[in-house]
Every structure is written in structure tokens, then in C-alpha cells.
Structure 1
Amino acid sequence: MLLLILEFAIKVKSFFQKLILRKSAFLAFLFLLGIFLLSVFIPFLSPYYEDIYGAVHFKAAGQPPSFSHWFGTDTAGRDMFTITIRAGFYSLKIAFGVVFLSVLVGSPIGMFCGVASKRIDEIIMRITDGFLAFPPLILPLVITAVLGPSLNNVVLGISASWFPWYVRIARSQALIISSLDYVLISKNMGASNFHIIKNHILPNGFNPILTQATIDAGYAILTAAGLSFIGLGAQHPDVEWGLLITQSRAQFLNHWWEVFFPGIFICLTVVSFNIIGDQFRNFTEEKIR
């Protein structure tokens, strides 16, 4: 286990060394890191921290961007910069929660299918195909409608729709790696499926999974925003960017800043995740070559 941790640490170090050499990927990483740190500490840094918890200031309502309110104020007089930055915390929480849960559930199942008997593989993959038969938004809609709109249910709903893709990715990697000569020799010497997964498939087949997870993190934020738009997303006090846009869409023509700034942050965050994911894919391909 210690060797796996050390190997993973070496891979991460090598990846970040290459990341620094590619300016676009490095800037994307700095942006995401900056958003995360700001969103965590904004309650302690902003003079308008009370706005995060629902304070209202009707005398300051509907003000456009200014030196005192960088992103303007909403119809309740709350500072849009403070609540937009804080909303980033919950949007990133959704992104990381979805990919973590999807990978945690999907990857072990896929790796097991890659080394299991054909009958077990067939049964599990047909069940997986059943999940994939649903359009991507159907399961999140059903789960949040049944369990109620909340941040945790959004994460659960999106993960239920996405984990089958990680089953397929992990299975394909397991099939490729388990057919290599040194793995076949290990099998012939009596190695168990668990040993093969732990020592061969997991260390060598996780990069494509991590690449896909990085890209999916951005799309998880978009999907959560879509659920918020129809009233099935995160609810107060877990206000994410999609909910900010939903709450302000009626005032868009008169108070454009209430929609513009959360929307810009969604776009920049999705693009940043995509850039880092592409860089991770390039890093993996270079390693293979």
C-alpha cells in the first residue's frame, strides 16, 4: 500500500511539473485553486459576510457594480461579489462530490468485470447498460424529485447517472492490462483477482479514469445548474452558481450583473477543468509513447 501511495505521489509531482510548463493549464489550475481558497475564506475576508447567511439591506438593493460592491448588489441588497465567491464553494463541492462518488462506485466494478468470468462480466455490464439507457438528466431528475432538492441529492442523482461510464472505462483498462504477458504469468502462478487489480490494473489503468473525472467535474457544475433552473437543485443555504442565476433570471434585463457574474464563473470553471483534463490526457499519452 505504501508503494502505491509513493508511486501516486511521484506521478502527481511529475504531472504538476509538466503543468507549470504549459501556461494555459497552469493558469487554469491557479484559477481553480484561487476560487476554492477564496470561497473557503470569504466569510472571514468580506465586510459583507452576513450576506452569505441571508442578511438583507433593502436600501442598497439593485446597485450596479461599483468600488464598494464590485459585482453590484441583488434585489435584497446583498453584495454579489461575496455571495458569488461563496457559491463557488458549493459548486466545487458538487463537482468533486460527483466525480469522487462516480469513480468510487464505477471503477472497482469495472476493474472487477475485467478480471471476472465471462458470465459475471456479462450480467454486470447488462445492468450497466440499463443505467446508460436513460438520458443523462433523467436519473438526477427522478432522484431529486423523490428525495427532495438538496445539494447532497444533486450529487447522488448525477453520480447515479454517471458512474456507469466509469464502469466501462475501468473495464476496458482492466481487459487491456490483464491480457499483458506479465499479468498472464501472474495469473498462472496463482495470483488472485484482487492481487491483479491492486498490483497491476489500479496502478497502470487509473490515468484514463482520472482524466475523464477531471473533465466531468466541470460538466457536473453545468448539470447541477440545470437542475437548479427547474427547482430541483441545491437549496439555501447551499447556494451554488446555478441557483444564483435561477434566483436572478427574472431581473436579468434590469440587473444584468446578478446573472452575468455567476455565469462567467461557471464558464471559466468548466473551461479550466477541461484544460487540465486535456493536459492530463497529453501527459498520459506522452508517458505511453
Structure 2
Amino acid sequence: MNAENSSNIPVTPAFNSRKEEWKRSWYKMKKSKLSMLGLIMVIGIILIAIFAPVIAPYPGDAVGNTIAFDKMNQPPSLEHFFGTDEVGRDILSRIIYGARISLVLGITVLAIAIGIGVPLGLIAGFWGGKVNAVIMRITDIFLAIPSLVLALAVAAILEPTLMNIMIAISFGWWPWFTRLVQGEVLSLKSEQFVLAAEGLGASKWRIAFTEILPNCTSTIIVKATLDMGFVILTGASLGFLGLGAQPPIPEWGTMIAEGRVYLPEMWWQATFPGLAILFTVLGFNLLGDGLRDVFDVQVDGE
């Protein structure tokens, strides 16, 4: 009898509400051609990064110290679609593997920035008073310095490696999430669901992280999506300056730095890595703009 009754339990209104909300969001997303284009571009980059060993025509040129002087500086052809570099490595294969590095860099930096910035923003906004003043003044100090300049300063102190470049960029990125979440918390802390939780005797930590934080999720997702492209661009800039991943690692900024020496005669060595950066940054920006319209949030201010 119990089993029979359990199979007829109706779906809760909350579940139906969330399901309908996702349907409406997806419908709004599909109406924007540019947003869907951005989604397709981002999915394409992710698939290229995942299946790089299968897609790359010459995987050894990207993961090893391959040197083939008989193929050096060859222009784009049917054998090498994007040409070869100064030591005969296939540029297309290196760009494909470079997608992995760029995505790992972006995801790692944003994970660190969110892990630091979001809790600090929650604490500052909900606790208020001296706690808010101390956290936000420290945040303002970091925000007063442009992210790229701060990343350059930190990267110049550290050894030029991929891990250190992630740390350097993260050093200047967390304040944006702190400022964003703090503003969201200030607008939510007087809502009825927060007051009800306080009336029931819930602790401040529980209210902040189980009641308020879920309502900030959409804003954080939109911010992270929009920032992904800029983080990748910042990483490429540091790589171009020689402060990031070092050769022979196929990082796009480093590839442009190596190829610029041969401009304009051997234009393909710097042009195609640059187009890869353009494609990736544009895809994440279009997707982020679409998500911002879908969730109807405002994350500008940088």
C-alpha cells in the first residue's frame, strides 16, 4: 500500500517552479542568435581541448621537443594547414593543445578568485560594521591597481611558470567577486526569507551560506563566464611578455611572442595563435552577455 501511494506522490510546486524557470531561461537564450553562437564557440573550444590528442594532426609537435629543420618556416599547406614554426613544428597541433592550457588557466584562476572573493563578500555584506569596513578597504586597495599591472608585478617576482602565472592573475581577480557579492548581500539581507531564518534562530553563518549564497549563484555564474575570456587574454599577455608558460609549452601568448620575430614574412606563426585567442575570448563574451540577459543581472563595473 505504501509503495503504491509513494508512486503517486505529486511533484512539489518548488520543483515545478524551478523546472519552468529553466525552461524560460533556455527559451530566452535561444532567442538570442549571438548568445547561441557564443555557446557553440565555447562548446567547440572545450571539445577541442578534451579531444586534442585525437584532433591534432601532429601531437608530438605539441607535447615534445620535436625539431624538424627540413620543415621549418613552411607556409600554410595541405600538409600543415596553419604552417610550421622556426623549428618545423606544426602550428595547428600546438594551437589545439594550447586550448587545454588556456582553459585550465582560466578555470583555475576563477576557482581561486571565487574561493577567496565570494566568502569575503558574504561576510562583509552580512556582518557589516567593522568587519565590512576592514574587508572592503582591503578590497579597495587591490581594486585601485589594474588587474594586469598587479599580475605583472606578482609574475615578475615569481619564477615564470604556468602555475605561478595562475597565482599572479588570481592575486588581482578576487576583489571583483568580493565587491560584487557584497553588493548582492546588502540587497538581500533585508528580504523576508532572511528575516524569517533569523526569527527561527538560525546562525549568521547558516543564513549567509545556505540562504543568501544560493541567491547570488546566477550573478556569480554570469560574472565568471564574462571574466573567463579576460583571464585567458591576461594569461596570454603575460605569456607574450615571457612571464608565463615557457617554451616548448604551446601556450598561445608564448607562441605569438616567438612568431612576432618573423613578421611580416612568416605571418602565420603569430597570426593563427592570435586568432585562437580572439575566437575564445569572443565566445565567452557572447555567452556571458547571453547569460546576463537570461538571469537579468548586472555585473558591470570593471
Q: Same fold (TM over 0.5)?
A: yes
Counterpart of 2:3 in structure 1 is none
1:151 aligns to 2:162 (yes or no) = yes
Over 3 Å counting, the alpha-carbon distance change for 1:155 and 1:24 in structure 2 is: same
Over 3 Å counting, the alpha-carbon distance change for 1:12 and 1:50 in structure 2 is: farther
Structure 1 gaps of 5+ residues are 1-5
Query: Structure 1 counterpart of 2:198, which letter?
Result: K
Query: Structure 2 counterpart of 1:180, which letter?
Result: E
Query: SS where residue 193 of structure 2 aligns?
Result: helix
Over 3 Å counting, the alpha-carbon distance change for 1:281 and 1:56 in structure 2 is: same
Counterpart of 2:46 in structure 1 is 36
How far apart are residue 150 of structure 1 and its match? 1.1
What is the aligned counterpart of 2:123 among 76, 93, 112? 112
What is the aligned counterpart of 1:167 among 161, 178, 189? 178
1:227 aligns to 2:227 (yes or no) = no
Rounded to whole Å, the distance in 1 between the matches of 2:149 and 2:34 is: 35
Counterpart of 1:197 in structure 2 is 208
1:274 aligns to 2:285 (yes or no) = yes
Q: Is the 8 A contact 2:73 2:85 kept in 1?
A: yes
Rounded to whole Å, the distance in 1 between the matches of 2:190 and 2:25 is: 27
Structure 2 gaps of 5+ residues are 1-14, 298-302
TM-score normalised by length of structure 2: 0.86
1:181 aligns to 2:217 (yes or no) = no
Rounded to whole Å, the distance in 2 between the matches of 1:285 and 1:133 is: 28
Counterpart of 2:105 in structure 1 is 94
Q: CA RMSD in A?
A: 2.1
Give 1 or 2 for the bigger CA radius of gyration.
2
- Percent of pairs identical after alignment? 37
Query: Structure 1 counterpart of 2:131, which letter?
Result: I
How far apart are residue 17 of structure 1 and its match? 5.6
Counterpart of 1:3 in structure 2 is none
Aligned length: 280
TM-score normalised by length of structure 1: 0.89
How far apart are residue 117 of structure 1 and its match? 3.7
Rounded to whole Å, the distance in 2 between the matches of 1:12 and 1:243 is: 41
Counterpart of 1:22 in structure 2 is 32
| 1:211-233, Cα deviation, whole Å (9 max, x unpaired) | 11111110111111211122111
Query: SS where residue 35 of structure 2 aligns?
Result: helix
How far apart are residue 182 of structure 1 and its match? 2.7
Q: Is the 8 A contact 1:154 1:233 kept in 2?
A: yes
